[in-house]
A and B are shown apart, each in its own frame.
Chain A
Amino acid sequence: MDSLLSISNLSVKFATERGKVQALDGVSLSVNAGETLAIVGESGSGKSVTALSILGLLGDSGQVTDGAIEFDGEDLVNVSAQRLREIRGNRIAFIFQEPMSSLNPVLTIGTQVAEPIWLHHKKSWPEAFAQAGELLQRVAIPDAAQRLNDYPHQFSGGMRQRVMIAMALACQPKLIIADEPTTALDVTVQAQILSLMKNLTKELNSSLILITHDLGVVARYADQVAVMYGGRVVERASAADLYKSPQHPYTQGLMQSIPKLDGDPGSRLYTIDGQPPDLSKLPAGCSFHPRCPFAREQCTTAKPSLQDIAPTHQRACFGYER
């Protein structure tokens, strides 16, 4: 299968008060057409920076120092700002974590959903507005036509996230990037929103990049998974393979430390010692080695690269013996 998006060896640095911080270090990923890729990691792992760099949203302090991002045959690292604006919201759409702060509070919902259609598809305003009404209906907002004239504060958290999805779908994008889209929502609403996103992307045959820290969400909705740690991808596999036989010690620890609904109640939870690393002072060698139960001398000096251990399963680890 041809990949729609492929990121190879991407490195990103941020200029901060404490000097240059390497947020991404040689990240390689790919997303096939129609597939859902989940990027999993804890705070500071680089999962959000990866997403932002795809759309050139790193801001003034962030810079791609190495690597390539290819989307549908087009290089996104060295593309003009003008061309990026044509792609953003049109062929690649973004859904953010906080629907309240990513909607404009002084514009009506209808205006905000219609804007990308008017802008990118050059429709007349009445046409775009009518289409916005249809979109709200598709994301199951009751009384969609009336609610076009409402403002964001008149919507609940779940409804706002539905509006964000409607905006993202407006131009029928090839790729949707959703950064922790349900973390701010209640669990019953979270399930509704994720199923809606999954079904609509399937209908459009779009690809989805789902950024999350929740391995449960990944298991339910992802086809492929990339696990990130300290600015690097440490394991890549299909969701089924990853859960059946996680190969990187970090992934294994993460899986074991989640309390399960069918686990042994009241028992101690498995823990990974220590804390996620501070990107401004990453340990030498494999950045997971201070927390790794299998770390050897080699791990403290050299960085393992992502290697095939099966045709569809890669990990960045020098290997270990149990």
Chain B
Amino acid sequence: MSASNILEVRDLQVHFPITEGLLKRQVGSIAAVDGVSFHIKRGETFSLVGESGCGKSTTALSVLKMQPILAGQIVFDGQDITDHSAAQMRAVRRKMQMVYQDPFGSLNPRMKVGAIIGEPLRVHGMAGDKAQYHGRIKELMKTVGLLEDMAERYPHEFSGGQRQRICIARALALDPELIVCDEPVSALDVSIQAQVGNLLMDLQDRLGLTYLFIAHDLSVVRHISNRVAVMYLGRIVEEADRDTLFSSPKHPYTKALLAAVPEADPELEAQRSEQLIIGEIPSLRSPPTGCTFHTRCADAMPVCQRHAPERKINGETLLSCHLYS
């Protein structure tokens, strides 16, 4: 493992059982994540992009070991955590925290904001004495742009954007190195998304954080990421640094995804070809053979139905597509 990498994921596979009947007999399984490999360098933002069911959130949960994995290896900070027990994970999780999509569902409505932000300190026995504990909470609230006197209020008194700031403060409490952000702005109002996006970028500069950013909104991803991987049906189909991916997308799915994002500019819109992707994402219960995208791909060839493409380097891009081999 290269010392500059904070996280390496190798050939990750996560399967969910399909059960039937009253006794929940297992009748099959769904490959939610099917051979995913990537690494994240210290201090960068790595984005996993894709539509619902592509496995991006499952991948994120597996990294935190909040999801049992079938096969593969997860190396965090030079340490293989794949087979860590729950007790061993507690120590590691101090360094990896999570910010969820829904700031309404991820805050306990019966706890005061100060107690919510301080909870990780208490759980990990790092609260110190009373003065230290409250001092740390105040400091965290200031870091994310909340006022100190808000510590005595309850979550329902806050708007979506402020709640997401509370979630971020809680994630920062233990001085983590990696923060997994699962769609952190997509539940927020447009004018608030930019505020939270900027906050995440500022915190990264100030605290040297590394982000694993999960999103479906490509324009936000382009703003915030260093490298981007596009996922489809449990596999990474294309991975490149941000500028390469957005200026010369190669995989037909990446191209379609970019074309599908409506731009807030009617003139630009008129110039763009409305190259619509056909159909919808197939069911993971019976994924297509070969390249799983061939059922919706305008450029599909006979080989695409038979063989899954291998992941190869193509210029600056890591690509899984028969068109380029």
Contacts and interface: CB of A to CB of B under 8 A. Distances in A.
A187 B223 contact: no
B246 A265 contact: yes
B11 to A, nearest CB: 27
Contacts of B261: 187, 216, 261
Size category of the binding interface on chain B? 35 or more
A243 B266 contact: yes
Nearest to A267: B223
Interface stretch (B34-42, B76-84, B206-214, B269-277): B269-277
A191 B219 contact: no
A239 interface: yes
Contact of B262 (A43, A191, A270): A191
A308 to B, nearest CB: 22
Nearest to B226: A266
Given A190-B260, A276-B189, A258 B219 contact: yes
Interface in A95-135: none
A188 B260 contact: yes
A257 B257 CA distance: 22
Contacts of B265: 219, 243, 260
B216 A187 contact: yes
A275 B192 contact: yes
A192 B276 contact: yes
B191 interface: yes
A259 interface: yes
A286 interface: no
Contact of A265 (B194, B216, B243, B274): B243
A259 B280 contact: no
A255 B264 CA distance: 8
A257 B191 contact: yes
B242 A265 contact: yes
A42 B198 contact: no
Given A188-B51, A258-B219, A269 B260 contact: no
A155 to B, nearest CB: 10
Contacts of A158: 280
B51 A260 contact: no
A214 interface: yes
A218 interface: yes
B159 interface: yes
A186 B266 contact: no
Nearest to A278: B159
Given A188-B277, A219-B265, A269-B198, A254 B191 contact: yes
Contacts of A255: 264
Nearest to A40: B190
Contacts of A216: 261-264
Contacts of A213: 189-190
B248 interface: no
A269 B216 contact: no
Contact of B274 (A195, A243, A260, A276): A195
Contacts of B224: 266
Contacts of A271: 191, 194-195, 198
A243 B258 CA distance: 21
Given A271-B195, A275-B161, A43 B264 contact: no
B318 interface: no
Interface in B234-261: 242-243, 246, 256-261
17 contacts: A42-B190, A186-B281, A190-B260, A214-B190, A216-B261, A216-B263, A219-B269, A239-B266, A243-B265, A243-B267, A259-B197, A261-B218, A261-B222, A261-B263, A265-B223, A266-B223, A275-B159
Given A187-B257, A259-B194, 16 more contacts: A43-B189, A159-B280, A188-B260, A191-B274, A192-B276, A195-B276, A215-B264, A217-B262, A243-B265, A257-B190, A259-B222, A261-B246, A261-B258, A266-B223, A269-B197, A275-B159
